[in-house]
């Protein structure tokens, strides 16, 4: 069977239009996923920075207490 034997009323332009639409939808999905990943990464980094700041404050308090103990001796 030859491709010419297939009776398909759909013009080639329609196939091209459909292919272009699928390509655009794929790009949009990729961009949407990248945006979601970037947002999640940003949230995770913010949490890490906040935790680091909290630990730094704790370390500072420990240093202050140790300094007070040294002075009392």
- Note whether residue 55 is domain-resident: yes
pLDDT at 5: 59
Domain count, the chain: 1
pLDDT at 2: 60
pLDDT at 62: 98
- Note whether residue 37 is domain-resident: yes
pLDDT at 57: 98
- Note whether residue 4 is domain-resident: no
Instruction: Compare 10 and 62 and report the one with higher pLDDT.
Output: 62
Task: Encode 30-52: b = buried (16+ Cβ within 10 Å), e = exposed.
Answer: eeeeeeeeeeeeeeeeeeeeeee
Owning domain of residue 63: 10-72
Task: State the pLDDT confidence band at 4, using cuts at 50, 70 and 90.
Answer: low
- Note whether residue 2 is domain-resident: no
- Note whether residue 1 is domain-resident: no
pLDDT tens for each residue of 5-52: 567 778 889 889 999 999 999 999 999 999 999 999 999 999 999 999
Tokens of 54: 């909290």
Helix H or strand E encompassing 56: helix 12-72
Cα separation, 44 vs 59, whole angstroms: 22
Residue labelled with tokens 């759909």:
10
């Amino acid at each position: 069977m030859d491709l010419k034997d297939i009776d398909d009323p759909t013009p080639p332009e329609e196939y091209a239009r459909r292919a272009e639409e699928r390509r655009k939808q794929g790009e949009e999905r990729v961009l949407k996923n990248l945006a979601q990943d970037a947002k999640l990464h940003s949230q995770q980094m913010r949490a890490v920075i906040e935790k680091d700041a909290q630990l730094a404050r704790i370390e500072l308090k420990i240093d202050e207490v140790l300094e007070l103990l040294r002075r009392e001796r």
